[in-house]
Amino acid sequence: MRVVATDRHAIHAPSAFISRGNRTANPEVPERAAIFRRAVTAAGHAVVASDDHGLGPIEAVHTADYLDFLRTAWSEWSALPDHAPEILPNVHPGRNMTIHPTHIVGKAGYYQADTACPIGAGTWDGAVASAQVALTAATLVQRGRAPVYALCRPPGHHAYADQAGGFCFLNNAAIAAQYLRSHGADRVTVLDVDVHHGNGTQGIFYRRADVQTVSIHGDPRAYYPFFTGYADEIGAGPGRGANTNLPLPRGTSDDGYLDTLEIAFAAIAAFRPDALIVALGLDASEHDPLAFLAVTTNGFRRIGERLGTAGLPTLIVQEGGYISDVLGDNLVAVLDGFENA
Q: Is 204 helix (H, G, I), strand (E, B) or coil?
A: helix
Q: Is 216 helix (H, G, I), strand (E, B) or coil?
A: strand
Omega prior to 147 cis, within 30 of 0: yes
Cβ atoms of 168 and 293 within 8 Å: the answer is no
> Does 197 qualify as catalytic in the annotation?
no
For the chain, the first-to-last Cα distance in angstroms comes to 13
Ramachandran region, residue 166 (left: φ > 0; alpha: ψ -120 to 50; beta: rest): left
Q: Cα separation of 246 and 30, whole Å?
A: 30
Identity at 152, one-letter amino acid code: C
Burial 111-141 (b: 16+ CB within 10 A, else e): bbbbbbbbbbbbbbebbbbbbbbbbbbbbbb
DSSP result, 271-314: H--SEEEEEE--TTBTT-TT-SS-B-HHHHHHHHHHHHTT-S-E
Helices 104-111 and 64-78, packing angle to 10 deg: 140
Choice among 157, 158, 196, 217 that is catalytic: 158
Helix (H) / strand (E) element for 266: namely: helix 254-271
Helix (H) / strand (E) element for 147: namely: none
State residue 295 phi and psi, 5-degree precision: -80, 135
Query: Pairing between strand 22-25 and 16-19?
Result: antiparallel
Q: Cα separation of 276 and 223, whole Å?
A: 26
Q: Cα separation of 136 and 144, whole Å?
A: 13
Task: Name the residues annotated as catalytic.
Answer: 158
